[in-house]
C-alpha cells in the first residue's frame, strides 16, 4: 500500500501506537470522552467531489468523495443524527487518505442539511441504503472496499456484512464497527437511565425536529403532538420508528435490527471496537464467545474511550480509534 506522504502516518513509530489505549488520567472518564470531541475537535478536510446517489424509490443519498486516485476505498457511515461531515467522520476519512485509500462519507436519509422526500427516514437496520452506496462505489473501479461505521452506523455496517455472508462481493475486504450498540434493546434501556439524560435530551430534541418536519410532509402518518414529551428511545421507536418502517413494535424493531445475534454470519474480516466505559452500551455489547462472534469477527474492548471518543494527545491529529482502524486496513496490503 502506498502511503499518502502529504499526511502523517497514523502508525509511525513516533505515534507510540502499540495496539493498547492508555489515555491520561483526566481523559479516562466515559462521559468526558463522549462529550469533549463534540465541542473541541475540528478536522479540516474538504471533499474532492459531492454526489447525489438516487435510491430508486424517489429519494437520494448525499455522498462526499475524498479521492486521491487510489485503488481502494473506505466507506464511512455516521451514527444517530449524525452526518457526513461530523468530526469523527472526517477524522476517519483523513486516516484513510493517509493510509493510501480513497474515502467516501455519506448521509443516511433525512440526515444532514436536507430532509429526504419519502416518509421513511433511517433506522438501525437500514442496510439497503448502505448496500446502494457499496454497490455504487464498486462501479468506480476500486479493487477493494472496506467499511467503517460509528455507533448506529456501526450496527448497520456489521448487520450488512452478516446479510452479505458468503455471497459478499470478493472486493468487499471487511469492516469495522466503532462504539456499536449491537444489543439495541439493552442499549435503549441503558440510555433511559437518569444518568444518561443529557444524551437523551439531545437525541430527542433533534428527532423531534425531524418528526415535526415529517408531519408537514405526511400529516396522515406523523402526529407531532406531544413529541417533545418523549423521554426514551422506547417511546420514540414505539410511536414513530416501528410503524413507519414496518415493525410491529419497538421490541420487534430492536430484535430484528440488532447485529449481535447475527455476528456469526459474517464471513469477511470484521472488527468490533467498543470501550468498556461507553455510557451508551449494555453489557451484552461486549460479546466474547466464539459461538456468538463466528470466525471472522475480531473484538477490541479497551477499558477507556467513551462513546465515539478515543481521544489521543499526539500532535498529528489522529485519534486512537483511527490508528486502530489503520492497523486493520494494513492487513490488506
Question: pLDDT digit string (tens) for 140-181?
Answer: 999 999 999 999 999 999 999 999 999 999 999 999 999 999
Among 209, 190, 208, CA closest to 199: 190
Enclosing H/E stretch for 75: strand 72-77
Are the C-beta atoms of residues 182 and 169 closer than 8 Å to each other?
A: no
Question: pLDDT digit string (tens) for 232-262?
Answer: 999 999 999 999 999 999 999 999 999 999 9
Residue 46 neighbours by CB distance under 10 Å: 8
Question: pLDDT digit string (tens) for 4-55?
Answer: 668 999 999 888 899 999 999 999 999 999 999 999 999 999 999 999 999 9
Query: How far, in Å, CA of 250 to CA of 321, rounded?
Result: 31
**Which domains are seen in the chain, by residue range?**
13-183+258-330 (3.40.50.1820), 184-257 (no CATH)
pLDDT value, residue 1: 52
Among 96, 91, 83, CA closest to 137: 96
Q: Is the pLDDT of residue 65 over 60?
A: yes
Residues in the chain, overall count: 333
Question: pLDDT digit string (tens) for 268-302?
Answer: 999 999 999 999 999 999 999 999 999 999 999 99
Structure pTM? 0.96
Amino acid at each position: 500500500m502506498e502511503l499518502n506522504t502529504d499526511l502523517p502516518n497514523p502508525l509511525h513509530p513516533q505515534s507510540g501506537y502499540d495496539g493498547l489505549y492508555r489515555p491520561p488520567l483526566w481523559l479516562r472518564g466515559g462521559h468526558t470522552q463522549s462529550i469533549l470531541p463534540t465541542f473541541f475537535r475540528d478536522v479540516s478536510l474538504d471533499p474532492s467531489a459531492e454526489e447525489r446517489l438516487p435510491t430508486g424509490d424517489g429519494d437520494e443519498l448525499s455522498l462526499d468523495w475524498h479521492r486521491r486516485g487510489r485503488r481502494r476505498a473506505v466507506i464511512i457511515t455516521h451514527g444517530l443524527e449524525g452526518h457526513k461531515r461530523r468530526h469523527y467522520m472526517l477524522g476517519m476519512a483523513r486516516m484513510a487518505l493517509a493510509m493510501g485509500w480513497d474515502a467516501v462519507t455519506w448521509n443516511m436519509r433525512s440526515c444532514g442539511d436536507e430532509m429526504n422526500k419519502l416518509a421513511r427516514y433511517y433506522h438501525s437496520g437500514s442496510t439497503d441504503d448502505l448496500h446502494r452506496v457499496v454497490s455504487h462505489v464498486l462501479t468506480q473501479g476500486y479493487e477493494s472496499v472496506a467499511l467503517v461505521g460509528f455507533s448506529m452506523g456501526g450496527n448497520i455496517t456489521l448487520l450488512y456484512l452478516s446479510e452479505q455472508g458468503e455471497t459478499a462481493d470478493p472486493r468487499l475486504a471487511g469492516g469495522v464497527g466503532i462504539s456499536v450498540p449491537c444489543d439495541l434493546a439493552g442499549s435503549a434501556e441503558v440510555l433511559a437511565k437518569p444518568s444518561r439524560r443529557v444524551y437523551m435530551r439531545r437525541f430527542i430534541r433533534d428527532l423531534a425536529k425531524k418528526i415535526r418536519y415529517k408531519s408537514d410532509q405526511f400529516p396522515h402518518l406523523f402526529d407531532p403532538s406531544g413529541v417533545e414529551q418523549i423521554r426514551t428511545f422506547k417511546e420514540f421507536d414505539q410511536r414513530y420508528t416501528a410503524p413507519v418502517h414496518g415493525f410491529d413494535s419497538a421490541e420487534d424493531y430492536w430484535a430484528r435490527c440488532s447485529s449481535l445475534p447475527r455476528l456469526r454470519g459474517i464471513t469477511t474480516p470484521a472488527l468490533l471496537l467498543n470501550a468498556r466505559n461507553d455510557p451508551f452500551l449494555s453489557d451484552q455489547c461486549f460479546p466474547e464467545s466464539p459461538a456468538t462472534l463466528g470466525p471472522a469477527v475480531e473484538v477490541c474492548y479497551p477499558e477507556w474511550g467513551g462513546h465515539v471518543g478515543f481521544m489521543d494527545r499526539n500532535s498529528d491529529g489522529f485519534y486512537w480509534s483511527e490508528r486502530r482502524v489503520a492497523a486493520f486496513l494494513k492487513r490488506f496490503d
